[in-house]
Structure 1
Amino acid sequence: MKKQVKVKPNSKQQRITEEVDGTLTVHLKSPPVDGKANAEMIELLAKKYGIPKANISIRAGLSSKMKLVEIEI
C-alpha cells in the first residue's frame, strides 16, 4: 500500500495522525539532518502497522516534508 506522508520534524511528541483524505501526518522528535527524521518515521510506521522496518520504503520525497511511502503488509 502507498501512503502520502507529511513529516513534521523537531516536534515535542512523536505521533501519527491520519487525515480525512488518507494522508498521514507524522510528528517526529528528530531534526531533519543526516536522515535521522526519515529513520524515526520508518520506525514509527513499523510500530503502527506491526511490521518490520524493512517492509517500509520511501519512494519519493527523501529530502522533502511530503513523502510517498510504500508499506508492504
Structure 2
Amino acid sequence: MSEWFKQAADGRLTLTLHIQPGAKKTEFAGLHGDALKIRLAAPPVDGKANEALIRFVADQLGLAKSAVNLKSGQTSRRKVLEVIGATAEAVARFAQAE
C-alpha cells in the first residue's frame, strides 16, 4: 500500500494530498514526497479550492460529495481527506492517472 493513503479497519480511506490551486486545469500530477499532488483550476479564495478538491475526488471515485471529508489542511497546500465507500484499488489508480 502506498504512503499517501491508508485504509482503516472500518473501510474508511485517508488520503494525504499536496494541492496546487490556480492551475490551468484540474488533474492528478503524480506523487509529491509522501503525498499525491493534485492541480486545481480553482483559486485558493473563500474555500473554492477545497470545494473543487472534494468535488474532483468524489467524481473520480464515483461517490457523492458527502462521502469525501476534509479532515485537515483547510488553509494549507497539504490536505488530508477521509473517503467513505471507495476501494483502496480505486484510490491507488490516482497515482497512475498522470
Does TM, normalized by the shorter one, top 0.5? yes
| TM-score under structure 2 length normalisation | 0.68
Identity %: 27
Of structures 1 and 2, the larger Rg is shown by 2
| TM-score under structure 1 length normalisation | 0.89
Provide the aligned C-alpha RMSD in A.
1.6
- Number of matched pairs: 73
Deviations 1:6-56 (A, max 9, x none): 110010111024428773211111110000000000010001111000000
What are the equivalent positions in structure 2 for 1:31-70 lying under 5 Å apart? 31-70=43-82
Write out the 4+ residue segments of structure 1 that deviate beyond 3 Å after TM superposition: none
2: CA distance, partners of 1:16 / 1:72: 20
Report which structure shows greater RCO (CA 8 Å, sep ≥6): 1
User: Which residue pairs with 2:23 in the alignment?
Assistant: 11
